[in-house]
């Protein structure tokens, strides 16, 4: 009898830990590896809802002759930024809406790049809302700079639509 109680107790504790450790979302099985937005629980009160942004950006230097962006007056190329779909990018972001203005701010400092800027191509991110409706978060092309205090990037001019505004192929 004592062994049965111990076995049941251990099994119950194991089940409890299994249930508690289950992730809020299975990123591996639910992630559209091209262009998507997935809601995740941040665990931080008053931080806004956190999302995992998945997109593909950038191109090879050979495609632009190493001269597709001008930095400090000199033409150059930076991997995994700008038009194209050469690099897979994942970043945790929080969305904020004030009136009709929607912005997205990165959560982790170096998710996108260790540079002080990021050249974001225009992208439409697939999202399924809480009512199981498929909608798109549209991010217009923009050059964003890291905030000097928070070290995060903030994307502006975002908007939602029922169909993608951008073809994500550039």
Sequence-distant (≥ 6) Cβ neighbours of residue 93 within 8 angstroms: 50, 51, 52, 53, 104, 105, 106, 107, 155
pLDDT digits (tens, 9 = 90+) for 45-92: 555 689 999 999 998 888 888 888 887 888 888 889 988 888 999 999
Q: pTM here?
A: 0.74
d(CA 151, CA 140): 21
The string of pLDDT tens digits covering residues 15-45 is 333 333 333 333 443 434 478 988 886 555 5
Spans of all domains in the chain: 2-161
pLDDT in tens, 126-156: 999 889 999 999 999 999 999 999 999 999 9
Collapsed DSSP state (helix, strand, coil) of residue 9: helix
Write down the number of H helices and E strands in the chain.
3, 11
């Amino acid at each position: 009898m004592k062994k049965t109680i111990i076995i049941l107790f251990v099994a119950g504790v194991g089940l409890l830990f299994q249930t508690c450790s289950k992730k809020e979302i299975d990123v591996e099985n639910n992630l559209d590896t091209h262009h998507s937005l997935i809601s995740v629980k941040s665990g931080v009160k008053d931080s806004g809802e956190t999302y995992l942004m998945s997109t593909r950006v950038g191109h090879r230097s050979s495609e632009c002759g190493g001269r597709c962006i001008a930095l400090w007056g000199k033409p150059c190329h930076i991997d995994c930024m700008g038009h194209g779909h050469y690099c897979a990018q994942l970043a945790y972001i929080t969305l904020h809406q004030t009136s009709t203005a929607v912005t997205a701010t990165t959560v982790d400092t170096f998710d996108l790049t260790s540079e002080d800027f990021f050249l974001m191509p225009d992208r439409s991110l697939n999202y399924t809302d809480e009512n199981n409706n498929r909608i798109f978060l549209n991010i217009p092309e923009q050059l964003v700079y890291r905030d000097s205090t928070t070290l995060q990037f903030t994307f502006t001019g975002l908007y939602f639509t029922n169909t993608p505004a951008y073809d994500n192929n550039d």
